[in-house]
Structure 1
Amino acid sequence: MKLEVTDQALSWFKEEVGVDEGDQIKFFAQYGGDSPVQSGFSIGFSLHETPIKSGVTTEKDGITFFVEEADLWYFDGYDLTIEYDEEKQELTFSYPEPE
């Protein structure tokens, strides 16, 4: 699995959430909502988390983004790309198939 954070999404995290170099952000499966990969679940994030057993990690501008190994089931073999939709002014999550 690959985890990608676009430059626009990174800017959103810095400006709206106030993350800075050295911070860590965890993405996790949460009950409720809907996604193209898991019905009845959606993706959430939390700040200032320390990985217990990271399944996938990426770093951008000194900020670490990760998914715990225990939450990899949610992605069902897909990658995760975190983007920012300027029109809607919100984060979006896409799940491309691995190359």
Structure 2
Amino acid sequence: MEITITDQALNWFKEEVEVEAGNKVQFNVQIYGTSPIREGYSLAFKLDNDDSKKSVSVEKDGIEFYVEEQDVWFFDGYDLKVAYDEDKEEVKYEYIEQ
């Protein structure tokens, strides 16, 4: 599994969430959501500097984006691309089949 953050998504995190270099963003699985790859589950994010249980991560412009070990099952067979949805003016998750 790999994580990709587009430049537009990175700018959204900086402007809307006020994330800056040195911060860490965790993508985590939520029950009772919707996603195209797992029925009944969705993906969310939170700012969390305790990355001691991270499994997969990527750094972009000094900001670390990661997924913890306990949530890797959600992505089985997929990579995560975090992009920007211009119509909704928010980030969107794209699941790229491996």
Category of TM-score, reference length = shorter chain:
over 0.9
Superposed, 1:1-99 pairs within 5 Å as: 1-98=1-98
Flag structure 1 segments of 5+ consecutive residues without an equivalent. none
Give 1:90 shift.
1.4
TM-score by length of 1: 0.94
Retained in 2: the 8 A contact 1:28–1:44?
A: yes
Please give the alpha-carbon distance, in whole angstroms, between the structure 2 residues aligned to 1:53 and 1:94.
23
Identity %: 50
Please give the alpha-carbon distance, in whole angstroms, between the structure 1 residues aligned to 2:97 and 2:62.
27
Flag structure 2 segments of 5+ consecutive residues without an equivalent. none
Runs of 4+ in 1 over 2 A off after TM superposition: none
Tell me the C-alpha RMSD between the 2 structures. 0.9
Aligned partner of residue 97 in structure 2, secondary structure: coil
TM-score by length of 2: 0.95
